[in-house]
Amino acid sequence: MSTIAVFNQKGGVGRTTTALNLLAAIARRGRRPLGIDLDPQAHLSQIFGIEPRLADDSVSGFFTRQRPLADVAQITRSGVMLCPAHPDLAKVGAGLGRGLDAVTRLREALRQPDAPPGHVVIDCGPLLDALSLNAVFACDVVVMPVSCEYLALRGAVLVERALNALEPVFRHRPARRYLLTRYDATRAMSEGVAARMAAALRPEEICATRIRESSGLAESPTVGLDIFRHAPTSDGARDYEALDAELVRAGFAR
């Protein structure tokens, strides 16, 4: 089973949309994935209809009171298990520190026999803080959505540099995949960002799949649905199905 962290320091690039629809795509293959919401804004939790009243009943309880992930996980109406976020998670992230023990808590928990089984998809916040570092250290691959705008690409390049700087700690090159989102082949900016991405990053780490701009993708979170349930015949559904298949072929979501 694989762990996928979805991260980019630039907001509005489709992090939560990607986490949501990767979870749904994995579930469509008959698996029961685990989502972990590490964004204090808790958008993924809200889409799934889970908003814990107490911080202790969220992933905050895992970090502050060492509650097992299985204790704070809930089964959503779509069948996905989710460890939800809570606004207090921002305080938790600030207080964790950046020592190796602080940023490997999630990795160690996911290796325990009592951890929820199955694939894991982690939705990170926009900061490269202790919470996001927990996701990076725990994951098998970082998927970085890059919307077709130059600031989003710049955010991805900054993450690339940070991951490169962490290589001595990892003792290997952390796997990553860069995903173009909000892509429109008729717009010059989309092609410009794609060209700059190819020049700035390793070609083998850029996803062949591109997530096309789609009204269905924009609408689905507002009605609490993934793209497969909201618009199953849309370009968005086809694109996220293709992304899931691409990650499976790469060995990250089998």
Q: What's CA 248's distance to the chain center, in Å?
A: 16
Q: Is 254 within the bounds of a domain?
A: no
Per-residue pLDDT band for 169 (boundaries 50, 70, 90) equals: confident
**Digit-coded pLDDT (tens) for 109-123:** 999 888 877 899 999
* Neighbour-count burial for 82-107, b at 16+ CB within 10 Å, e otherwise: bbbbbebbbebbeebeeeeeebbbbe
Tokens of 142: 């970082």
d(CA 78, CA 87): 23
Per-residue pLDDT band for 96 (boundaries 50, 70, 90) equals: confident
Lowest average pLDDT, out of 13-27, 43-57, 164-178, 203-217, goes to 164-178
CA–CA–CA angle 140, 143, 144 (5° rounding): 145
Burial label for 126, CB within 10 Å (0-12, 13-18, 19+), is middle
Q: Is 109 within the bounds of a domain?
A: yes
Helix intervals (H) in 8-52? 15-28, 43-47
Q: Are 69 and 38 in contact (CB under 8 A)?
A: no
CATH number of the domain to which 140 belongs: 3.40.50.300
Segment 151-176 mean pLDDT: 87
Taking each helix axis from N to C end, the angle separating 188-200 and 150-170, rounded to the nearest 10 degrees, works out to: 20
Q: Is 184 within the bounds of a domain?
A: yes
Segment 12-24 mean pLDDT: 94
Q: What's CA 47's distance to the chain center, in Å?
A: 14
**Digit-coded pLDDT (tens) for 126-143:** 888 899 999 999 999 999
Q: Is 253 within the bounds of a domain?
A: no
Taking each helix axis from N to C end, the angle separating 235-249 and 15-28, rounded to the nearest 10 degrees, works out to: 70
Mean pLDDT of the chain: 91
Per-residue pLDDT band for 90 (boundaries 50, 70, 90) equals: confident
Whole-structure pTM value:
0.94
d(CA 123, CA 37): 5
Q: Is 46 within the bounds of a domain?
A: yes
- Residue 49: which domain range? 3-248
A 10 A CB-CB count for 177 gives 21
Is the pLDDT at 65 greater than 70, yes or no? yes
Please give the pLDDT value at position 184.
Answer: 93
Task: Choose between 77 and 16: higher pLDDT.
Answer: 16
Is the pLDDT at 186 greater than 70, yes or no? yes
Please give the pLDDT value at position 254.
Answer: 67
- When divided into structural domains, the chain yields a total of 1
Q: What's CA 148's distance to the chain center, in Å?
A: 18
